[in-house]
Structure 1
């Protein structure tokens, strides 16, 4: 790592040396990392505290916060700082000693900021949101806050159904943050100068494109518990909120001097975002739907960014970030450039999100020459029938040919990702997972022994499918924890019957977490009561296996008179009004219905570069929709 002399304003640490010596990983709470902005909060007109509701090591790996942190601090009138969830040890000490939660750079209380922006990446972090508010001395519910509290704003993929956490937020930002935050900050400055209530500001903010203010909408329910209607309380508040999108990715802000954490982060490398969106139409994938249309960064800009970011951070690895890196149109040119640059300095190149059918043996071999690692592929389903249901667009022949090319290129360790509990799944589909892995192992051992690179290891990992809002599978039912574990046992038993079982390994996800994630993903505003109750009963860090307690959640739902099965296992009508239907992602509900019906018919829908499927994203006026002037969407 490079070193740097810091010149930030004098800062009084929020935690004493004595306290820091008692906590695990004290560097989590120090701030002043390499490339920190080092601005003076007292000289800014607006202060914004970015929050990742999990530990520092995970939060520092998040590209979205890096981008927004860089963007906010480029504004001369704005000071942007960061806060992360304190780990359980510090949480306990702060409560015992009445220490308020603080931002890491200024070490000032979170409550002293004008805005608290919380990124919502994963539903299982929802109790951590309440921890952040609670430790900051901010009322948990928006309705209970006053003029001295910051405005709490949520952003990120979970905002595509914000309703389970809507009462805890003053407003949500729908879509990509580069476009409308400047307008929101200017509105705040105007409101503060003129004076007015919090309600006045929120009413005005609701008119900014992409901003959703939950308190300005009434939700009514039918007798069966489903939603009847969601209605704005003012005529000038929009009935639907359309997501914001960046069309010019090349000109968009990007951190050339990204923050370098004090301690090893989960993603401890330069991250180069090559594009947004995905041309594939996997029916289970929320990101592939809500980030449409695909928009690429110019390859020359990416080359410049790569060189600059590596120089400014001292990292020894660079990763290409996108939903499907193989579909970036200039991937060979970019990778060849990176190989030339990185091989001189022994810098590793990570190429995640690669599809087997688009993976070049030439590229694989060149990357291997720099630094070898295992390959990760995601067939998602074990049989061709089920891959067609989910619109994966991969045949077994293509999968096995990709594996052969990988093995011939010198790889011997492969990770395969699948899902269990997908719509229409049968026992044959479950058994197909280890049977596919077995055929991959057979392909490895067909290679002459002298050309093999050691022993073959194929690791299968299964997660349990969680239907997400704004996808064709948003109508799908879920199952009980016992049912999910039974499916995993079928996979495990079948694996042990394979000829090459010693080359196969199987891991599966926690079923109880899956069930709760499903409720939080598709829940309505009533679920907020259960979240708050669970938090007050001790739920925290639910994304961590060692701290997740399913029994707390079942007790919380029971106490609030809510049924987990209502949100998970019941069949949903195609005409049901969903909590998230007021959000316009660009992709229409009519398209989702068509795709759901095609899934039931086991029909494939071509990707966006093959033909336009009429999803609706062409309304944004850019991206892949206009590469070849596709037919009207």
Structure 2
């Protein structure tokens, strides 16, 4: 690679710090012939990718191996990509600036369906054949992990294999097998056959799919001996003894989450029926405060960060939260390090917790009632009451807050106009709660409530996976009605794009026939589809038309419960029968208790550990 050309590109782009590397705590190894190499790709811009905890874990873990070098790769922003294509510069790693096509492995983390076009664009920029079947023996293997790997059939023709579940153990096993295969002279297929025996590895080319005339799947089966019908996910049972990086990379520029992130636990006890993460990460497994104190101390010393964020799906459900926060405050307050507690629930928020949150500085408060009426909150099993929200709002207002953000979804199953308008009414009740406080508490302050709505995307591995999504016209009509119903200027209303939500649903529920659509969309210029700056719905419509595929088949059809689903290859532990029961309970408006209250036999107990055995 011509380094002079690359340096010239940096002078012409908006944020060159995205591409220069050499940050504090980044790892640089001398490349030798015996080293195995992994290009760890995040299919979004640097400041998004560098905020992702999973990437930090696997980057440092793989580099802890003496026989492996792992380097980071991010999607170049449009200005940089144009310069690279003009100068003939392929996609490079950040550490050594080597073309990623020279690596042994190209690993992508899939966090969001709208990043799929970036994956295709990055492979194209790298000069790597887009289709797995076209790659030769000396070309890199392309594999993917992350939550979308559980339902990634649209990428199955582009990706050599997928990792289902948590990656700390399985990524090392992948490299161990590669080390033996590399010098064996055997074919690419032989390597894939070997790793297909590892729990958690799905090789899509080892399965054949046929379709009925109506487009539904007729059969899905392994096409060779020894390949499992379904691939069981991997989980880490003992969170205290798994790898945690203690020297985090400190970027030269501001990133989205510019702080230390302490992962308290994985999984969730709640069982909200819309939440894919709550099902695919079961069972809950916690880290001890003692281990978290050790990691926090090491990260403070090695980074100089001024904020620690407690990371989980529901932070206030951590069983030893007050013990943990007391211990963390003891080591952070004098150093003016802020403690941030995202993912708080309105039903267990307290004055004591609020005081801890604002000990150093006052962070924002965001709560997610999800639905505007109690009836609909029962349908989705949110298990929070209106009085919980009002009580929490009053606690926050009494503690000096005057701005609260509320997050809802539009288009949930069984939703009525009353549910839609209920969102605005609930926001008004929060405003009213502020003015119900004594004047000496309000101290002449004003109040503001920001209401944000996303359009519901029925996701695989949830009780709503068989449900159709609202059509774009329905989504927009609901948002308009809600907007018109909000007349108080103290309530600010924001909503997500309906056409982006539609495409998210298409690729969440899509099958492998969508691979050609992704390739065609990239040719038409689709990339950064999660960014309003770039998203172009007309180009996607053109790509579907060019490939002769109707995207509404995936988004707007109620799926039969006896159908073979495109994601049935993945065994997350939670049974399909349990999800069907939860769907029935949803339509009956019956809530399901949390895992700590009562085990409902979802199936996750088979993995051992977690609340299933407390």
Contact 1:339 1:367 in 2 (8 A): no
Structure 1 counterpart of 2:449: 458
* C-alpha separation in 1, matches of 2:490 and 2:139: 57
Give how far 1:374 is off. 2.0
**One of 497, 500, 512 as aligned partner of 1:510:** 497
Indicate the SS of the match to 1:83: strand
* C-alpha separation in 2, matches of 1:14 and 1:36: 23
Gaps of 5+ in 2: none
1:467 counterpart = 2:458:
yes
Structure 2 counterpart of 1:7: none
Indicate the SS of the match to 1:116: strand
* C-alpha separation in 1, matches of 2:431 and 2:449: 7
* C-alpha separation in 2, matches of 1:169 and 1:558: 24
Contact 2:357 2:363 in 1 (8 A): no
1:185-584 alignment, distance < 5 Å: 185-452=175-442, 454-496=445-487, 501-584=488-571
* C-alpha separation in 2, matches of 1:559 and 1:265: 38
Structure 2 counterpart of 1:622: 609
Give how far 1:307 is off. 1.5
Contact 1:45 1:189 in 2 (8 A): no
1:533-589 alpha-carbon deviations (Å, 9 max, x no partner) = 111111111111010000111111111111121111112111111100121001111
Indicate the SS of the match to 2:82: helix
Give how far 1:14 is off. 7.3
* C-alpha separation in 1, matches of 2:10 and 2:283: 46
1:606 counterpart = 2:593:
yes
Contact 1:55 1:85 in 2 (8 A): yes
Contact 2:314 2:344 in 1 (8 A): yes
Indicate the SS of the match to 1:244: coil
* C-alpha separation in 1, matches of 2:340 and 2:131: 42
Give how far 1:44 is off. 5.0
* C-alpha separation in 2, matches of 1:372 and 1:293: 33
Structure 2 counterpart of 1:631: none
Give how far 1:13 is off. 4.1
* C-alpha separation in 2, matches of 1:278 and 1:12: 49
Indicate the SS of the match to 2:47: helix
The total of aligned residue pairs comes to 613
Indicate the SS of the match to 1:196: coil
Change in Cα spacing, 1:35 to 1:429, as seen in structure 2 (3 Å) is same
Give how far 1:154 is off. 0.3
* C-alpha separation in 2, matches of 1:63 and 1:518: 25
Give how far 1:284 is off. 0.5
Contact 1:44 1:76 in 2 (8 A): no
* C-alpha separation in 2, matches of 1:107 and 1:317: 31
Give how far 1:367 is off. 2.4
Structure 2 counterpart of 1:177: 167
* C-alpha separation in 2, matches of 1:450 and 1:147: 74
Contact 2:5 2:87 in 1 (8 A): no
Contact 1:49 1:117 in 2 (8 A): yes
Give how far 1:32 is off. 1.3
Superposition RMSD in Å = 1.2
Contact 2:151 2:566 in 1 (8 A): yes
1:595-629 alpha-carbon deviations (Å, 9 max, x no partner) = 111111111000000000110000001111111xx
Give how far 1:132 is off. 1.1
1:422-449 alpha-carbon deviations (Å, 9 max, x no partner) = 0000000000001001111111111112
Gaps of 5+ in 1: 1-10, 628-633
Give how far 1:502 is off. 2.4
Indicate the SS of the match to 2:437: coil
1:296-336 alpha-carbon deviations (Å, 9 max, x no partner) = 00110101111111111111111000000000001001111
Contact 1:14 1:102 in 2 (8 A): no
Relative to the length of structure 2, the TM-score reads 0.98
